[in-house]
Structure 1
């Protein structure tokens, strides 16, 4: 009996109908299939040769998830003990010839399926911007009308946003005459951490451009910017961010082939400097939000440390 049978898991494979959307360098590295594991839709990646480096593989996963955001696992015939340990330490799911099955996402599905909260969804971008605004206020009462000047929302958008914040049950809604304000009994750090399941990435997509194509509208971002505030070492590849409306003439490359000639570019849904005090650097909260999708323990530790540093005066 193989490991899948012991765990009570049944896997069915079929052709993935979005394969043509993948860049060529991923198709050269992997056979991508749709996999159904106990009614859970996933994607299976079978290497055509040697596995790419871990940073490159993580980038490939992020590109695939932009096309279809489902769990992804490696289907392996053989692997060295070093590489197997590397996958385990980085929480990368894999199945090794049905002998070793490491699918941490299935544990979550199997354990929590009966308790799943159908109401937990990503908040809208406008709501997330209102939440970010709240985090920067040194107050106990958050009058939503005061956010209009900073965010430029219409009354309808503002109403929808504060009501969506209220549905998380982390805020309470009050009235002061005709003015509406929100309160919370949580510290800012706890509030941020409890809101994490609802938060979305501030950027639409990412790719690569040549260094000579960097413009004044591009702001240092990602781990490149984060390393300036923390003990994280600067990455080999620099990252920049630009607002979507300024990216019309930019042609992103999907493959990174040179740390010396290229930089990573994130296309943001809003102005990366919206909450910036000096109008030169991305604010700390937006920067943290842009890193939340990274499954990296060292980043999580530094994010938590930075949150405590940001809010030390306010709780």
Structure 2
């Protein structure tokens, strides 16, 4: 854990030391405590010695207890976390650090993903709209006018202008004025070469995940996650049936999810809330292959990565219906 802070903060790390506190057993059992100071700002890392699964509601409730008892900001520490756990904690404003290079410290204005592994700076990655436009080029035509692309993706022309600017800056497309409009054309027509050229800019489309009673989600929603992967490879049937939906759908307004720890698996489905509309790129009830691969970017499961190799082969023949 100390090494992570040293890699991120360098000389700004004032101190890092393990400390013992007199706390109730339920707050102390299975935990180790580290007092950290960065640029004069002190906080306590409550490190879980052995915690693969946790309840978000419990974490949030106990966070207040830690802060009241310690009289300082408290941060949860983990050996490693999944992308779902990371997103859930960020959505619930729960500060955390993880040895697999992820950090969320809202009281210091810090959000790093794989920060200790030399990944691309977040601003260099695609914006959601840019990724959607890129995938349209990858799967369908080599060129579009901005109006054609806006109509195809059901967005405003201004959104296409913003997205095309980012693709242009990264050398993925070229633009040429034609009459009163602007034609966008891919810089390379070979799909494999175009994909490899853009791969380092791709983002995970999942903004958050929620669990809903079975039957709440329309069957027309495209399958995603391990549920989709199990239908496209030799991966075994997953724990939950899982779908992807656009985060801004009216469907989500005032919708209350259920706690998966308190409900039977067969009675609930898992819903991924995407930053762009997965339906735009879906085919035969499945999310598109590139987006599916991106949803597993933080997964270390070798079994899943092996199956994703099969999904990658779909890219070259994917046709949106």
Contact 1:217-1:246 at 8 Å conserved across structures:
no
Inter-partner Cα distance in structure 1 for 2:221 and 2:314:
26
Inter-partner Cα distance in structure 2 for 1:255 and 1:33:
31
Q: How many pairs align?
A: 266
Inter-partner Cα distance in structure 2 for 1:198 and 1:69:
27
Structure 2: gaps (5+ residues)? 18-26, 55-79, 103-112
1:28-67 superposed matches below 5 A: 44=45, 46-47=47-48, 50-52=50-52, 58=82, 59-66=84-91
1:245-264 superposed matches below 5 A: 245-257=250-262, 258-264=264-270
Inter-partner Cα distance in structure 1 for 2:191 and 2:127:
20
1:14-163 superposed matches below 5 A: 44=45, 46-47=47-48, 50-52=50-52, 58=82, 59-66=84-91, 72-73=97-98, 108-109=117-118, 120-139=123-142, 141-163=143-165
Contact 1:145-1:180 at 8 Å conserved across structures:
no
Deviations 1:4-48 (A, max 9, x none): 9x999967469xxxxxxxxxxx99986898956899x9995512x
1:168 corresponds in structure 2 to: 170
Deviations 1:201-242 (A, max 9, x none): 333311222325444464432110121112222212221233
Inter-partner Cα distance in structure 1 for 2:98 and 2:134:
34
Two-structure CA RMSD over aligned residues (Å): 4.7
Matched, 1:222 2:225: yes
Inter-partner Cα distance in structure 1 for 2:148 and 2:314:
25
Contact 2:16-2:35 at 8 Å conserved across structures:
yes
Contact 2:32-2:47 at 8 Å conserved across structures:
yes
Q: Given the two structures, how large is their TM-score scaled by the length of structure 1?
A: 0.63
Contact 1:276-1:283 at 8 Å conserved across structures:
yes
Inter-partner Cα distance in structure 1 for 2:290 and 2:47:
37
Contact 1:122-1:197 at 8 Å conserved across structures:
yes
Q: Given the two structures, how large is their TM-score scaled by the length of structure 2?
A: 0.62
TM-aligned CA deviation for residue 57 of structure 1: 5.2
Contact 1:276-1:282 at 8 Å conserved across structures:
yes
Inter-partner Cα distance in structure 2 for 1:237 and 1:299:
15
Query: Helix, strand or coil: the match of 1:252?
Result: coil
Q: 1:29 to 1:163 in 2, by over 3 A?
A: farther
